[in-house]
Amino acid sequence: MSDVATPHSTAGMGQKFLSNRNMVLTAATLAVLVLMCGVFATLTDRFLTVSNFQNVMRNAAPVIIASCGMTTVMIARGLDLSVGSVLAASSVIAGSLAVAGVPLYLAFLLAVLFGAAVGAVNGVIIAGLAVSPIIVTLGMLNIARGAAYLISPSAILVGLPSGWSFLGTAKVLGLPMPIVIAGIVVAVFYVMTSYTTFGKRIYAIGGNEEAARLSGINIKRTLLWLYVMCGMTAALAGVVLSSRVGSGDPNIGVGFELQVIAAIIIGGTSLSGGEGRILGTVIGALIIGVLANGLNLAGVEPFWQFVAQGLVLIVAIIVDRLVQDGVLKMRKGA
Amino acid sequence: MTWNVLTRALRGSAVLLCTLGAQAAAETAVETAASTFSTDLCEPIDKAAVADIPGAVSGFTGYASAPGMWLTEPEASALTGKRIAMSVMSLGHPYFQAIANHWETLAEKYDFELRVFDGRFDAGTVQRMVDDIISYAPDGVAFAPLDSAASVPQVKRMLDAGLKVVTYNVQPAEMVAPRVFANDFDGPRIVGCNLARYFQAKFPERDPVIGIVDQPELLQVQDRKNGFLYGFLSLMPEARVAQAVNGGGVIDKANAAASDLLQAHPDINVIFGINNDSSLGTVAALKAVGKYSDEWGALASVDGSEPIMGELGNPVSPLKAESGYGPYDFSLAAFNLLAATIEGEADETTQVVVGYPPIIPTEDGIESWLAQQYPR
């Protein structure tokens, strides 16, 4: 009989549920995604299939990978506009090394380390010299893109070894490799932000940098690591994407940073820092991916797709914010 | 023992036969593409099938003009000793990179000072670039417009500043200066004709279902798409156009769009990529869903850059028709036209139409195209 809910115990359970605000907000974002899937499933019978699920996930994987790094930066009230260019530069670095005969694993590793180096430069300037992240990473956006063109001036690389496409096209237990890699990156960042001291420091810095400083958090070092990880995930996304399209190409990833930022904001990360969640970002990336895929499968004309994508993204944000406001009011009421 | 030997021998023979069969099939596919190849335009066997396809929507004119003498390297040029500005849409694009390389070779050969200006595929950058060119005060300008309409005032500004200007590639919406351009309708139309001939020969029992990896915001690209459809439907009027998706003209976006296209219409067996990036993105999408094979269907595109030539020459690739958009031809024609303009032998009514030569899918055909247009 003890498990029979009384009004008092129900309120207690509700309070406990509401105390986990992140869970509710993630559920709200997930509801938007499910709603979209439902709409597309009614519009076309091609949408709800295993192969299309893999297709959506495969296409969304680079955005998910890069978004994980960027989410932590944004939680700490930072921003990295250079992720698209780092993605392109890592693509041609890996490609050029592979063409030169460097073993593929080493070529991919060096490309990811290049991303880490770019992130370190961003982090040193932003954290060490207290320069606006927008300005620094905007500059880095141009530098990295220029570097990509300098490395591969005649654009798409040819003569890549046969194993080049492994990371983009191989399957593990039936799952495409990009999905597996994205899953691993998500797991790492989820654990880091949810269960580690380092994760708590990120939220503390984003919530109130001065308070974080006074409580003994090394702001500069933490920010430096965040930008390093952001650069690494952008470069890893570049390696995965290049592997998928079968080439190193300095032209890939134009506008990629906007997709990443959109996914993160849709996922509930605040532009003013201190709030955000990795799972929300993943759902945000999937919302963007499902939207593009669903509109194509439904045969919507390309120009209307621009309009529809803009509208749905705005509606998704409004719904998310309404739910957030509702949660806050309920918490206050409780 | 004897049984084992016999079994092994039979297995070996079967493997050998399969290998030989596969090779024969692959050779047949390439040979089929080569044997059905033509440089001629095909005419519609059923005019009703192509009646709804728009003509040249980009408003280009004078397609009947031939490049003629403009594609000959002269013994001497009026550009010698001059200061020349040459702009490109974007140096990040292999085609414009090749254009810049050809111009540098010409500058060395004919001894003139060359400054290359990069438009970075950005309207604002091109606008500022025009001011930079005027400040540079060259003796002649070979200008690559980014946009037909916006280029008219840009060219006029340079003319008002007293510069001698020719345009190449995208044509200005008005006749403001001598220009070099290509027939964006008929070039891809030949590709459509060739792909239809190949499809008929290779898959006589199949009905073609067409998908397009498009870039709908560019009128020049719409001419490419419509030209291809006109050519293909001229010979196979029963073909059904399933869908055109926006691939953005770059490999990563084209790959995602082509993946969606293949999901939406699993019966698609013909795809046209509006440029090489679009086709390479499609190739990757076909590989991802296990359809990358000459037995899947047929793929075509235009541009003729080096990476796509690898596909054209690959026996198992479905890419079996390609027309070139030659950087050498454009460079030489613009070079000669600018010399004529400086000498007062050309005016705003002068136009040079360079071809979209179809590339025969043989080793020799591919090598000779690359050697001239994309020399290493």
Please give the Cα distance from B374 to B327 (Å, whole number): 8
Chain B residues touching A169 at Cβ < 8 A: 287-288
Residue B91 main-chain phi, psi, to 5 deg: -70, -10
Rg of chain A over CA atoms, in angstroms?
21
Q: Which of B252, B359, B336 is nearest to B67 (CA)?
A: B336
Strand pairing class (B113-118; B83-88) = parallel
Give the pLDDT band (50/70/90) at residue B64. Answer: low
Output the pLDDT for position B22.
46
Return the amino acid letter for B354. V
* Those residues with Cβ within 8 angstroms of residue A286's Cβ, 6 or more apart along the chain or in another chain: A33, A56, A57, A60, A64
What's the confidence (pLDDT) of residue B166?
A: 97
Interface size, chain A vs chain B, as Cβ–Cβ contacts under 8 Å = 103
Residues A112, A239 contacting (CB under 8 angstroms) = yes
Q: Report how far residue A201's alpha carbon sits from residue B12's, in angstroms, rounded to the nearest whole number.
A: 65
CB-based contact (8 Å) between B92 and chain A? yes
Residue B323: what are its φ and ψ, rounded to 5°? -115, 145
Confidence of residue B367 (pLDDT cuts 50, 70, 90): very high
Pick from B97, B255, B263: which is nearest to A244 by CB?
B255
Backbone torsions φ then ψ of A250, nearest 5 degrees: -70, -10
Do A251 and B93 lie within an 8 Å CB cutoff?
A: yes
For residues A107-111, average pLDDT: 97
Q: Which residue has the tokens 């296409």?
A: A59
Across the range A36-40, mean pLDDT stands at 94
Whether pLDDT at A1 is above 60: no
Chain A residues whose beta carbon lies within 8 Å of the beta carbon of residue B261: 296
Listed residue (A55, A114, A120, A68) closest to A88, CA to CA? A114
Residue with tokens 């250079």: A82
Structure confidence at residue A15 (pLDDT): 44
Q: How far apart are CA B359 and CA B369, in angstroms?
A: 7
- Contacts with A151 (C-beta within 8 Å, 6 or more apart), sequence order: A89, A92, A93, A96, A250
- Please compute the mean of the pLDDT values over residues B60-89 and round it to a whole number: 82
Q: How far is CA B145 from CA A279, B90, B120, B335, in A?
A: 45, 11, 12, 16
Q: What is the pLDDT of residue B220?
A: 83
For B262, nearest residue in chain A (alpha carbons): A297
Cα distance between residue B214 and residue B244, in whole Å: 6
Say whether B289 and A249 touch across the interface (CB within 8 A): no
What is the pLDDT at residue B14? Answer: 46
- pLDDT for B372 beyond 80: yes
DSSP A272-291: TSS---HHHHHHHHHHHHHH
Has residue B46 got a pLDDT over 80? yes
- Contact state of A158 with B310 under an 8 Å Cβ cutoff: yes
With a CB-CB cutoff of 8 Å, which residues 238-277 of chain B face chain A?
A: 243-246, 250-252, 255-257, 259-261, 263-264, 266, 277
CB contacts of A43 in chain B (<8 Å) are none
Chain A residue nearest residue B278, CA to CA: A245
Q: How far is A8 from chain B (nearest CA, A)?
A: 52
Which chain A residue shows the shortest CA-CA distance from B218? Answer: A303
Does the beta-carbon distance from B252 to A245 stay under 8 Å? yes
pLDDT at residue B122, rounded to an integer: 84
Is the Cβ–Cβ distance between B327 and B142 less than 8 Å?
A: no
- For A29-40, what is the mean pLDDT? 92
A126 within 8 A of A78, measured Cβ to Cβ: yes
Task: State mean pLDDT over B15-28.
Answer: 47
Which stretches within B37-118 are classed as H helix? 47-50, 94-110
Residue A306: the pLDDT is 87
A181: confidence class by pLDDT, cuts 50, 70, 90:
very high
The verdict on a CB contact (< 8 Å) between B97 and A154 is yes
Determine the residue type at B164: K
- Best mutation target among A43, A99, A156 (most B Cβ atoms within 10 Å) is A156
Q: Where are the beta strands (DSSP E) in B199-350?
A: 209-214, 240-246, 270-273, 298-303, 319-324
Closest of B198, B248, B257 to residue B218, by C-alpha: B248
Q: What is the mean pLDDT of residues A171-187?
A: 93
B117: three-class secondary structure by DSSP = strand
Across A184-198, A297-311, B232-246, least confident range: A297-311
List the Cα angle B67/B320/B279 in 5-degree steps.
85
Question: Of A112-116, A165-169, B228-232, B340-344, which range is least confident?
Answer: A165-169
Decide if B196 contacts B74 (C-beta within 8 A): no
More confident residue, B12 or A216: A216
What is the strand order of the sheet B298-303 is part of? B240-246, B209-214, B270-273, B298-303, B319-324
Work out the pLDDT band at B327, boundaries 50, 70, 90. very high
Statement: residue B158 has pLDDT above 60? yes
Cβ A287 vs Cβ A28: under 8 Å:
no
Q: Please report, for residues A142, A164, A251, B254, B284, the alpha-carbon distance to residue A155 in angstroms, rounded to integers and kept in the order given.
A: 16, 17, 7, 16, 17
Q: Which amino acid is at B97?
A: Q
B141: left (phi over 0), alpha (psi -120 to 50) or beta: beta
Question: What is the distance between the alpha carbons of residues A269 and A290, in angstroms, rounded to a whole number?
Answer: 20
Mean pLDDT in residue range B61-75 = 71
Nearest-by-Cβ selection for A55 from B243, B259, B281: B259
Residues A122-142: tens digit of each pLDDT? 999 999 998 999 999 999 999
Q: Is B122 on the interface with A (CB under 8 A)?
A: no
| Superfamily the domain B31-58+184-324 falls into | Response regulator (3.40.50.2300)
Cβ–Cβ of B255/A245 closer than 8 Å? yes
B283 touches chain A (CB under 8 A): yes
Report the pLDDT value the prediction gives residue B305, as an integer from 0 to 100: 87
The CA distance from B307 to the nearest CA of chain A, in Å, is: 6
Least reliable range by pLDDT among A165-169, A312-316, B209-213: A312-316
Which residue from A176, A246, A254 is facing B250, i.e. has the nearest CB? Answer: A254
pTM recorded for the entire structure: 0.84
pLDDT at residue A273, as a whole number: 84
- Laid out side by side, the sheet with B179-182 consists of B113-118, B83-88, B140-143, B165-168, B179-182, B351-354
Contact list, B306 vs chain A (CB under 8 Å):
154, 156, 158
- Residue B91 touches chain A, beta carbons under 8 Å: yes
Is any Cβ of chain A less than 8 angstroms from the Cβ of B125?
Answer: no
Residue B243: its chain A contacts at CB < 8 A?
A: 296, 299
Residue A167: is its pLDDT beyond 60? yes
Q: How far apart are CA A118 and CA A145, in angstroms?
A: 12
* pLDDT exceeds 90 at position A8: no
pLDDT score for B130: 94
Sketch the domain layout of chain B as residue ranges. Answer: 31-58+184-324, 68-182+327-356
Instruction: Tell which wins on pLDDT, B303 or A322.
Output: B303
For residue A297, give the nearest of B217, B263, B305 by CB distance.
B263
User: Would you place residue A55 in the very low, low, confident or very high pLDDT band (cuts 50, 70, 90)?
Assistant: very high
What is the rounded distance in angstroms from the CA atom of residue A56 to the CA atom of residue A293? Answer: 7
For chain B, what percent of residues have pLDDT higher than 90?
65
Give the mean pLDDT of A5-31: 60
B69 in Cβ contact with B346 (< 8 Å): no
Asked if residue B21 has pLDDT above 60, the reply is: no
A158 contacts in B (CB within 8 Å)? 306-307, 310
In one letter, which amino acid is B187? G
Short-list B177, B20, B109, B19, CA closest to B332:
B109
Lowest mean pLDDT among A153-157, B75-79, B107-111: A153-157
CB contacts of A149 in chain B (<8 Å) are 91-92
- Chain A closest-CA separation from residue B110 CA (Å): 24
Please compute the mean of the pLDDT values over residues A107-114 and round it to a whole number. 97
Please name the member of A58, A155, A299 whose beta carbon is closest to the beta carbon of B93: A155
Dist. CA A149–CA A98, nearest whole Å: 17
Q: What is the mean pLDDT of residues B57-67?
A: 56
> Where does residue A196 rank: exposed (0-12), middle (13-18), buried (19+ CB within 10 A)?
exposed
Q: Which amino acid is at A122?
A: N
Spell out where chain A has E strands: 171-172, 175-176
In the beta sheet, which residues pair with residue B75?
A: none
- For range A67-80, the mean pLDDT: 96
Note the pLDDT of residue B321. 96
Using the predicted structure, report yes or no on whether residue A275 has a pLDDT greater than 90.
no
Identity of residue A239: V
- Contact assignment for A158 to B306 by CB distance below 8 Å: yes
Lowest-confidence range among A322-331, B103-112, B232-241, B252-261? Answer: A322-331
Please report, for chain B, how many H helices and E strands are present, in that order.
12, 11
Q: Calculate how close chain A gets to B333, using CA atoms only, in Å.
A: 22
Q: What does the pLDDT read at residue B18?
A: 43
**H/E element holding A333?**
helix A302-333
Please state, in angstroms and rounded to a whole number, the distance separating the CA atoms of residues A156 and B92.
10
Beta strand A175-176 pairing with A171-172 = antiparallel
Q: How confident is the model at residue B20 (pLDDT cuts 50, 70, 90)?
A: very low
Q: Is it the case that residue A9 has pLDDT exceeding 80?
A: no
When CB atoms are compared, the residue of A145, A155, A302 closest to B216 is A302
Assess whether pLDDT exceeds 50 at residue A221.
yes
Average pLDDT, whole number, for chain B? 88
pLDDT of A317: 76
Which residue type sits at B303? D
Compute the average pLDDT of residues B48-67: 70
Interface of chain A against chain B, CB under 8 Å?
Answer: 44, 46, 49, 51-52, 55, 58-59, 145, 149, 153-156, 158, 165, 168-169, 176, 241, 244-247, 249-254, 292-293, 296-297, 299, 302-303, 305
- At A276-304, the pLDDT tens digits run 899 999 999 999 999 999 999 998 888 88
Percentage of chain A beyond pLDDT 70 is 91
Q: What is the pLDDT of residue A3?
A: 38
How far apart (Å, rounded) are the C-alpha atoms in residues B372 and B225?
26
Give the model's pLDDT for residue A327: 65
Q: How far away is chain B from the Cα of A37, in angstroms, using its nearest Cα?
A: 15
Whole-number mean pLDDT of chain A?
A: 88
Give the H or E element holding residue A23: helix A21-43
- In tens, the pLDDT along A247-274 reads 888 888 988 999 999 999 989 888 888 8
How many CB atoms are located within 10 Å of the residue B297 CB? 24
Of the given ranges (B152-161, B175-184, B201-210), which has the lowest mean pLDDT?
B175-184
pLDDT of residue A168: 86
pLDDT at residue B369 in the model: 92
Mean pLDDT score, A92-115: 95
**DSSP conformational letter for B358:** B
Q: Do B284 and A244 touch (CB under 8 A)?
A: yes
Domain B68-182+327-356 in CATH: superfamily?
A: Response regulator (3.40.50.2300)
From residue B300, alpha-carbon distances to A12, A328, B273 in Å are 65, 56, 6
Return the pLDDT at B25. 47
Q: In chain A, which residues have their Cβ closer than 8 Å to the Cβ of B282?
A: none
Picking from B252, B265, B301 by the largest number of A CB atoms within 10 A of its own CB, the best residue to mutate is: B252
Please give the average per-residue pLDDT across B333-350, as a whole number. Answer: 94
Cβ partners under 8 Å of residue A49, min gap 6: B263
Of B129 and B356, which is predicted with more confidence? B129
**Greater pLDDT, A321 or B161:** B161
Supply A82's token pair.
């250079």
Task: Say yes or no for a CB contact (<8 Å) between B305 and A156.
Answer: yes
